[in-house]
Every structure is written in structure tokens, then in C-alpha cells.
Chain A
């Protein structure tokens, strides 16, 4: 089967090259036959990559350990669930997945837009073919998943225990889906630039794609946080590690694009900026893969160090030069149709929102690659850590949170005093009351008070929108309140879905602000001994070490330490954290022991217990105990965010608002406030 896979990759490489050449020719000459050939090349690429993927999957599931990739990432006793995920546990499989997903999305984009955007589609197909060629070439020349060994090991090395977690099964594909789907907006941007069809048509074609890829990235990032939290056992979910930053960067620029695209649709401004954001997001997604896969910045997550890095670097430069070069070439065609009229307007709020998002992205990028920059400039590597990122991003993030409340409600063009009073009176009251209340209970962290006050501000703006909207439908159409609510959201999915996303963002900010109150202790306890830990809410946890037990389980040997937990005298239960030594089918240890954390989570705080090890030969245990306030809000904030994204993304029954209708609206269009 692997020979078949390998052959498929080679044929795909040739077809990809053919497709790219033919597509760009079709775009120039407007020859329909060439266009069809280009389109078919993409479908053929997809088919070949499906076969190649099936071949790799077959090798994994049949334990063909003669294949290097299979031997490196699986073993006979690995549960099937994780054998599936071994497909993308390593670099080679990830590349195949990338290529597969790019061509899948490419094929869907071509099918969905069949007969539309005739000027653009050949170039779209061509760009997708070029991207696919890059990944296939990287596989064939540098990192072939079907590479065979000179011998057949009796068993594989097994999957890294830290990857044997449900979060890790879904986190990487979500991120890859996010990274890869940005290729489609990029392809449309390139097509628009090359063909010179720079009206809003291409924007309509990609808005949904960008949202989709934003949604995948969001889910991927939150799942990654969850994985880090439950699996890595250091007590947190975000460490500003280069690989984490790499996924955050395109998320920031895409978030910026999703907002600024509204300005272009409504007011014909920011055309160059929007193309720049699409190109930038795509480059950052390639850069993210590059960071993860090249190990260029020493990071605990940079799993691989190989020459694949050079392929990515070349691709980054080529796509960057092509994308920004085309933008520079078409610069004169991208003049704004209107000007910013007032600083007190929705346009201005969105401009600042974009500025802050991009500045955050720049700061994060700078901090991430600073070791490389400092080494190149001064000869010594200097690294920056979480304090740098926090110092820069906390004020920026809070500014963004404020704009989250202002942007959607303030009037277009120029807000009147009346508009401001109507929209922002109650939110401001809520903000001030929250700030005063938190100051009164002596919350010790200033930034957190600001975060919660702004959170209250945004929440009330959103609630007010829903209340007014439902009220208006109730009055005008005589609908019952629940029906009015459903129709309100259903008929304005983009707007109200956006509000739900904003609520998710508020929840995430609330959770992040809670990090200021984290408590951490490390203790060594004999059985029967106990320790008291104070929670930021003033409670006292009383934890008693019960002892250590050892037993076999599935593909691992477990050492478990149990603690009885009570809070303010009330017994809460026993919490068991483990050290797991994974074994291969012959009973040999396969990797370093992995920690299984015990977590007791509720809306207010998490009690997080790490069993760090036993004192040699005794039942005396070393524990790390962490009180993590409001972590629950990260996961549920992420869910709300994803739900809001889905509402926005869901195709509406009436179809998307056509550009013509939007254009026909009077220029003095003011936000439809409530009614």
C-alpha cells in the first residue's frame, strides 16, 4: 500500500505543476478548456491525496513497522483511537494532512463558486495548486511519510504519552484546518489582484471561508489550552510558548480582517489593508507550521528539527513576495471610496480595533522571534518570557475589550450625542458599579478590576441589543418573546452571532483576569499528614495524603497518589493524581513517565493537584497544589465563542445579502438600533 501512496504523491506533484501552469494561462487567455483542466487538476490532486492518506492510514492500522513513520509513532498496544491520531502526530503525516486539507477546501471552494467569479476562479485554482505543490514537494524531497526502513522492528516506539489524550486527538487537526483554510481567502486575494477584479465580489466569496478558518483556529487554540492544562501538569494553560504564539498570530490578523471587512463592505474603505490582512494571515499560518516543524526557536514544543524548515522558509519568502508584490502593483486601483468623518464613529472604533489587533500580533511575533533577531544583530540569543507578553498585551487587550463594547453600537459616520446616550448610558453605569464594587471588596489587582468593569460594560451592551431587538419584534410583529428571540437571531445571524462571540470573549477575559489570583504550593507529605491551602475566595482546603498505590492499566504502569479533600470542614471527596509509565507490548518502558493531574473544577475555581513523585521506596509523596480561579470560564467561554461563530457561519435561509442591495442603501445609513 505504501508504494501506492508514494506513487500517488509523485503523480500529484506532476499534476500540481500542470494545474498551476494551466490555471494561470487560463486566467490570462480566458480559454475555457484550460480553466476546466485547471479545475480538474485540483479535483485529481484531492483524489490522489485521499488515496495517499488512506495508504498511510492502512500502514498505521496494520502495524507495518517497516515504514519509518509507523514505527516512530505507534506500537502494537496503542489504542486504535490514538493510532488514528498518529496520522498527524509527526511532521510527515502532518504535511500529508495539510496537503489533503488544502486540496479538499480548494475543491469545495471551486464547486461552491462554480459559474460565479469567472474571472477569478482560474487564478484561485492556480494558487491552490501552487500551495499543494509546495507541500507535496516538501514530502517527496525532504520528509516522505512512506519512507521505509532497512529492517523491520518487532514493535514501534509508540505514541508520546503526552499525546495520548483526547484533547490532542482533536487539537492538531483543528489547528491544521484553521491554518489550511486560510489558503482559500489567500487564493481569492491573489486572484483578485492578478485579474484586477477588485470590487467587493471576492470579499463576499471569502468572508465565510475566513470565518470558518477563524472558527477552526479558535477551537484549536482552546483545545490546545485544555490539553496543556490537563496533560502537561504545570498548572496553567498558556505559557506564551513559541508554538502557542504561532497559532495565536493568524487568529489575531483574521479577527482583524473579520471586522475590517465590514468597513469595506459598508463604506468602501480599507481595501489595501484588507488584502494585506488576508495575505498576512496566510503567511502567518505558514510561519506557524514552520515554527512548529523546524525547531528554529528553541521551544519545548518544537518537536522536530529537520531540513523541512528550509522548504518552509523558501515558501514563506515566495508567497510573501508574491502576495505583497501584487498588492503593491495594484495599489493605485485600491483607493478608498469614502473618508473617515469623525473619531466618534463606528469606522473609527473598527480602525482602532484593527490597529490594536495588528499591534498585538506584531508584539507577539516580535517577542517570539526575538531570540533569532538578537542573535543575528548582537551575536547572543536573548529570550523574553511571559512577563514581556503580559506587560505589552494586558493594556492592549483591555483596550480591545472596551472597543468590543463600543464598536457594534456606535453609529456609522458620526455618532450624535443622542446616539451615545441611548447606547452607552446603562453599560457605563454597569461598568462603574462593577469597578466600585470590586474596589469596595478590596480586589487586590488593578488590571483585574479594569477587566471585570469592562466585561460588565460589554455584557450590558450585548444584553441591551438583545432586549431591544426582541422588544421591537414583539411590538412590530406581535410575536411571543421566545419566537421573537429566535427570529431576531435567525434573521440577523451575522450580527447576533457576532454578539454571542463577544460574550465568549468577555468570558475569556474574565478567566484571564482570574489568573492574577492563582495560588501555588509544593509539599512533601507522609500518609496521614495534611496541608491547608487558602483559596482567593477566603476558603481553606484541607488536603490529607492517603497513600500511594501501583497497578497495571492498558498500555501503562500507574503509580497513583490519593488525597482526601475537604473545604472549610466539609468533605469534598478523594482526588487521585497519577504518574504513568507507558510500556510497549514487551513490557519495556517507552518514554519518560507522564503526569496525570487531579482536577476539581467548578465555576469559581479549580483545585489542581499534581503528584510529582514518591520519596524512594516509601509512601511519602511530593505534591504540587494549585488553586486556579475561574479556569472553567476559559472552556465555556471558548464554547460560547464557537457557538457564536457557528450562528454567524450558518447559511441563512434568505441567502447572503447581495452586494447590490447593500449598495442601494442610502449613504447616510445609521445602525438599525433595535428597530
Chain B
């Protein structure tokens, strides 16, 4: 067998393995990224969706954040304007997490309508490109 053929076989083996790893990786670790409205639509269409972990991108409703430092629990309402869910998160929130920022929470929607988050990311987008406003 020529070396070239052998290399092609070896390369195909590597590509095959990687293809398999990628496909199974996406299947096992891929997470839906939804807005509250999309999440509500999914749940209405199929109730088994309660058991699926999702990422939800939404905005923190102003004035809804409560923090219980002793139990490290944070609750707030996350909204995309049309639909909103109360979120319960246990853990440390990033520095950027405050009123009115965009957050990405990962977790599951409970049948009682609360979103239990296992991770909480806050985006600092508004901060970086904000137009200065007139201040006194």
C-alpha cells in the first residue's frame, strides 16, 4: 500500500473520530438558547420540555433583584418585553449583574413557573458602547 493511501486512511480515521466526538458533543452538551417568549412557546407545545435544560437570554427587570447573602440565593424577574419569568439562582453573581442588564441564565423551568438557574452570566454590552448622556 502506498504511503499516500495510508495517510488518507489515517486522516480519515482522525476526521471520523473527530466528527463523532463533535456530533456526540453537540448532542450531549448542546443547550437551547431561548428568549422567555420562545421558552413559553416550547413549553406550551410540549410539556416534557420542563425536563430539558435551557439557556435563557433576557433582561433583568428593574427593582426585582433580591439577594439573600446568608443562603447565597438571588431572585429576580427576567423579561424580554413580552414574557417574563421569576429566576432563582444559588451562587455568586458576577460583578456586572445589576438592574436592567442582559443576563444569560442556564437551568430549568419548573412546572410552578419559576426558572431555577445553575449559572448566571451578565453581559456588560450596554456599558461598553453607551452614548454619554447629559448629566449635571
Contacts and interface: CB of A to CB of B under 8 A. Distances in A.
Interface of A: 65, 68, 71-72, 90-91, 149, 151, 153-157, 160, 162, 233-234, 295, 298, 300, 302-306, 339-343, 345, 348, 351-352, 355-356, 359, 363, 366-367, 370-371, 374, 380-385, 387-388, 391-392, 395-396, 399, 522, 524, 579, 591-595, 610, 612-616, 620, 622, 624
Contacts of A65: 132
B95 A595 contact: yes
Given A298-B104, A356-B14, A622 B4 contact: no
A382 B31 contact: yes
B34 A381 contact: yes
B82 interface: no
B94 interface: yes
A382 B104 contact: no
B4 A340 contact: yes
A64 to B, nearest CB: 13
Interface residues of B, number: 51
A412 to B, nearest CB: 13
Given A234-B94, A392-B22, A396-B18, A300 B3 contact: no
A72 B132 contact: yes
B3 A391 contact: no
B124 interface: yes
A372 B7 CA distance: 34
A612 B93 CA distance: 8
Contacts of B72: 522, 524, 622
Contacts of B10: 343, 352
B1 to A, nearest CB: 9
Q: Which 10 A-B pairs have the closest CB atoms?
A: A381-B33, A303-B128, A388-B25, A615-B69, A387-B29, A71-B132, A612-B92, A340-B3, A382-B30, A391-B25
Given A305-B129, A620-B69, A363 B18 contact: yes
A437 B86 CA distance: 52
Contacts of B63: none
A359 B57 contact: no
A615 B17 CA distance: 50
Nearest to B6: A343
B11 A355 contact: yes
Contacts of A359: 14-15, 18
A613 B69 contact: yes
B125 A295 contact: yes
B47 interface: no
A338 B67 CA distance: 69
B32 A156 contact: no
Given A160-B128, A351-B7, A522-B91, A614 B69 contact: yes
Contacts of A594: 95
Nearest to A73: B128
B43 interface: no
A202 B74 CA distance: 59
A384 B96 contact: no
Interface string B110-136: 000000000001111101111111111
A149 B124 contact: no
Contact of B22 (A155, A233, A366, A616): A366
Contact of A156 (B7, B132, B136): B132
A303 B3 contact: no
Given A384-B26, A387-B25, A592-B96, A303 B134 contact: no
Contacts of B92: 522, 610, 612-613, 622, 624
B70 A524 contact: yes
B69 A302 contact: no
A392 B18 contact: yes
Contact of B132 (A90, A153, A234, A392): A153
A370 B26 contact: yes
B75 interface: no
Given A382-B26, A391-B21, A592-B95, A343 B129 contact: no
Contacts, number: 163
A363 B23 CA distance: 10
A151 B136 CA distance: 12
A129 B88 CA distance: 54
Given A391-B25, A622-B69, A383 B31 contact: yes
A68 B130 CA distance: 10
30 contacts: A72-B130, A72-B132, A91-B129, A153-B135, A233-B95, A300-B96, A300-B123, A300-B124, A304-B125, A304-B128, A340-B7, A343-B3, A348-B3, A351-B7, A351-B11, A355-B14, A363-B22, A374-B30, A380-B33, A381-B32, A384-B26, A384-B30, A392-B18, A392-B22, A524-B72, A591-B127, A592-B98, A595-B95, A622-B72, A622-B92
B122 to A, nearest CB: 8
B129 A303 contact: yes
A227 B128 CA distance: 18
A339 B94 CA distance: 56
- Residue among A149, A343, A356 with max Cβ neighbours from chain B (10 Å): A343
A306 B129 contact: yes
A343 B8 CA distance: 10
Contacts of B7: 340, 343, 348, 351-352
Contacts of B29: 384-385, 387-388, 391
Contacts of A356: 14
A622 B32 CA distance: 32
A519 B123 CA distance: 26
Contacts of A339: 3-4
B97 to A, nearest CB: 7
B30 A383 contact: yes
A303 B125 contact: yes
Nearest to A622: B69
B26 to A, nearest CB: 6
Interface in B47-80: 55, 57, 69-70, 72
Contacts of A342: 3
B28 interface: yes
Contacts of B124: 160, 162, 300, 303, 592
Contacts of B136: 154
A613 B32 CA distance: 32
Given A90-B129, A392-B22, A524 B69 contact: yes
In the complex, which of the residues A155, A300, A345 has the most CB atoms of chain B within 10 Å of its own CB atom? Answer: A300
Nearest to A386: B29
Contacts of A341: 3
A112 to B, nearest CB: 37
Nearest to A618: B69
A68 B131 contact: yes
A665 B96 CA distance: 62
A395 B32 contact: no
A87 to B, nearest CB: 15
Given A381-B34, A385-B31, 6 more contacts: A153-B134, A340-B4, A348-B7, A355-B14, A363-B18, A392-B21
Nearest to B57: A298
A399 B121 CA distance: 34
Contacts of A392: 18, 21-22, 25
A157 B130 contact: yes
A395 B25 CA distance: 13
Contacts of B69: 524, 613-616, 620, 622
Contacts of A371: 33
